[in-house]
Each structure stands twice: as C-alpha cells, then as structure tokens.
Structure 1
C-alpha cells in the first residue's frame, strides 16, 4: 500500500532514486543507533570500572570511527547510484 503510493508520487523518477534515498537514510539511521549504543555501553563500563576509563574511551572512539566509516561508504554508494 505505502510502496504503491510512493511509486505514484515519484512518477518518472524511477526506482533507482527511491532506493538510493532509502538506502542513505537507513545507513545514517544505523550509524546513529550504533554510535549511541557504543556511547551508552562505554558509560556503563566506566561507571563500573572508573580506573579503566582511558582504555574504554579509546576503544569507544575506535569503534565509533569504524562505524562512521562504514556509514560514509554506504552513503557514497547510494549517491553514486543516485547520480550515475
């Protein structure tokens, strides 16, 4: 039902552009949720073991950077699909 409404609304744009837009949105949502969970888990770990806060913080930053890298690659792929 919703898909048919979306397809009628986009008219001549095509499924490629719709798929690229949805893919970019999912990539950003996934990255935001992932980084949020990492931050929350890191705060819990630091609250339990304050002496290990430097190690936890370093691991949290590395994991967040890896997630952002994957999200950026996904968005670039979606943009390439959109414009090419």
Structure 2
C-alpha cells in the first residue's frame, strides 16, 4: 500500500524533471533551429571573421544558416552541435558548410 502513496509523488517528480529538461534544451544558443533568418548574417560574420577566404565562407555559411537555422560556436569546427549544418555535403562528399 505504501507504493500507491508514493506513485503521485513520483509522477510529479517526473513531470517537473521533464519540464526542466525542456527549458534547458530551449536555452541552447547553438542547437538546430536556435536562430531566425535575421540572425544568420551576424552569426556568419562571427564564424568567418578569422578566415582568409571571407567571401566564400560568408556565402556558404549564410546558405547553410538559412537552411538549418543554426551556426556552430567558434570560428572553426564544433559542427556536432548543429547536425544539419554538419551533415550537408557537396556533390563530392566534402562539407558544404564552413
């Protein structure tokens, strides 16, 4: 009988935990869909600021951002936080997004 009294408490704890997890995922500034199209240009300017190939970097970064609504953190790498950005490949199989 003690198990039935603990059940509502357990359910309440599970609901609270799922709400906290949802809030934590929503606050991820780099995950898929974390940007709006208007935010792509400044994020790509940041991403491409340290490259000597600035124009192509900006072109492809903006193209990828418009499709994925995500730009990885940093100037290079870290693409795993944005799977769409990471997995979009050229016809030759190389990465499309900088």
**Which structure has greater helix proportion?**
1
User: Which bin holds the TM-score, normalised by the shorter protein?
Assistant: 0.3 to 0.5
Report the TM-score when normalising by structure 2: 0.32
Report the TM-score when normalising by structure 1: 0.35
Task: Name the structure, 1 or 2, with higher relative contact order (CA <8 Å, separation 6+).
Answer: 1
